[in-house]
Structure 1
Amino acid sequence: MRNKYFVIFTACLGLFLLLPSLPEPASLTSVFRLTEEPAVIVRGTSGSALTVNISFGDVEVERWIREVKKPYPLLFVEMDWAERFPETVRLIQEKNIPVGLLGDNGIAYEQNKPLFTNQLERFEDIFGMKPLWFRTIDEVFPHSLHTLLWEAEVNALGSSVVWRGGDSPPVTEGEILSIPHHRGDHIKFAELNKLYKNRTFTSVEDMLFKTTVKVKKIPE
């Protein structure tokens, strides 16, 4: 009987020592490359996805975020704005709205090499994770930027249509719509109702992960 207990104890001890070395399950929020080589994703093949670029706005942005319902748009958030409005950022996190990193104009990354790394670190400090998506404000992705994105395993996401209000653009399968909300370049959020009346939106992740993505090569 004593030998039996000794064998059980030894087996349990061995299992306990082995557990720390077992690989942890992959996180659902892990970042990964969606393309096989550096490229800008500009559309899927079916459905419609809405993205909103935010670098400006206070009360109206917070009110819209409180009211927006699922399926949520993908928010591209500029870091200076996020640091100015931590309460709105906290609301985004509480509602679990998907967020990407909104950068500067593409040319800025040719002139300032550490810029992307700095923005990436600030995003991780604020949101506690690395972004899956990155977009420059002008959707220009110079060759000097794509290596940094590739190494960081962050996907470059462009858009099919940039909508600044007015008549809704015709529906195109696999489209990624971009709504700018910057100082001097933004619409009233109430205008988004025009798009919602004409489309049934799905998340960027659902649209791209279930279909073939279409890309635009980053020029050298």
Structure 2
Amino acid sequence: MRLKYPIIITACLGLFLLLPSLPEQMSLTSVFRVTEEPAVIVRGTSGSALTVNISFGDVEVEQWIQELSKPYPLLFLDMDWVERFPATVKLITEKNIPVGLLGVQGDAYEQNTSLFPSQLERFETVFGMKPLWFRTIDEVFPSSLHTMLWKAEVNALGSSIVWRGGASPPVSEGEIISIPHHRDDRIVFSQLQKLYKDRTFTTVEEMLFNTTVKVKKIPE
């Protein structure tokens, strides 16, 4: 009997210490803010992260998705594209590839205040959750848009460099590389091998969590 009480006390103490950390860990899987005030994240401090903006493409995108291996890039998806190609979107979700919401040109959100809420609702309908990341197609974030992002607890993610093919850019620690894949502005996916030859990619989350991020303040 005497041995039983110390064991019970030890077990209860361990559970008591563990419980406070559980809600925090669970919340990170659903929603988080990387910055303490409205700002656009443009780079981390170490490593390299690859992001791809997709608003166009059928067979070539599906084939590229099939061939992708971890660590996966962060895919920013245009909702019109998402709704046109549900089979490719299903493949993305089955492979658990991280996705963000790709918006239109930044100034459109000043002209139409209902645009972002509508895009957000469409994203949640398809993916069953809010996006952790949002990017306008031109990486312009007006202050009114950023206010909406902040209230929705969605992070604004820009990039350090937009790469459209050609020579591979020099490696820069903390870089966030953006690759466009649109009707009139896209690369051949095989060209991405140039980037993989001289850098090791990590996920955006791994690069930014527990590090100092560099941001671009939103003008008033």
* TM band (smaller chain): 0.7 to 0.9
Q: Secondary structure at the match of 2:30?
A: coil
Shift, 1:93, TM fit: 0.3
Q: Secondary structure at the match of 2:26?
A: coil
Q: What TM-score results when the alignment is normalised by the length of structure 1? A: 0.88
Shift, 1:211, TM fit: 1.2
Change over 3 Å in CA distance of 1:160–1:84 after alignment to 2: same
Map Cα deviations across residues 10-54 of structure 1 (whole Å, 9 max, x no partner): xxxxxxxxxxxxx89835521121111000000000000000000
State the partner residue of 1:190.
Answer: 190
- Aligned AA (2:84): R
- Aligned AA (1:216): K
State the partner residue of 2:45.
Answer: 45
How do 1:49-68 residues align onto structure 2 when only pairs under 5 Å count?
49-68=49-68
Between the aligned partners of 1:198 and 1:174, the Cα distance in structure 2 is 15
- Aligned AA (1:116): F
Between the aligned partners of 1:24 and 1:196, the Cα distance in structure 2 is 34
Q: Secondary structure at the match of 2:156?
A: strand
Q: Percent identity?
A: 80
Map Cα deviations across residues 147-196 of structure 1 (whole Å, 9 max, x no partner): 10000000000000000000011100000000000001000000000000
State the partner residue of 2:6.
Answer: none
Between the aligned partners of 2:26 and 2:207, the Cα distance in structure 1 is 22
Between the aligned partners of 2:106 and 2:118, the Cα distance in structure 1 is 15
Between the aligned partners of 1:68 and 1:101, the Cα distance in structure 2 is 20
Q: Secondary structure at the match of 2:29?
A: coil
Change over 3 Å in CA distance of 1:141–1:24 after alignment to 2: closer
State the partner residue of 2:10.
Answer: none
State the partner residue of 2:98.
Answer: 98
Change over 3 Å in CA distance of 1:55–1:37 after alignment to 2: same
State the partner residue of 1:126.
Answer: 126
State the partner residue of 2:83.
Answer: 83
Change over 3 Å in CA distance of 1:40–1:87 after alignment to 2: same
Instruction: Say what the alpha-carbon RMSD is for the aligned residues.
Output: 1.3
State the partner residue of 1:115.
Answer: 115
Change over 3 Å in CA distance of 1:25–1:160 after alignment to 2: closer
How do 1:1-220 residues align onto structure 2 when only pairs under 5 Å count?
26-220=26-220
Alignment gaps of 5+ in structure 2: 1-22
Between the aligned partners of 2:118 and 2:105, the Cα distance in structure 1 is 15
- Aligned AA (2:44): G
Shift, 1:210, TM fit: 3.0
- Aligned AA (2:211): T
Between the aligned partners of 1:25 and 1:206, the Cα distance in structure 2 is 15
Larger Cα Rg: Structure 1 or Structure 2? 1
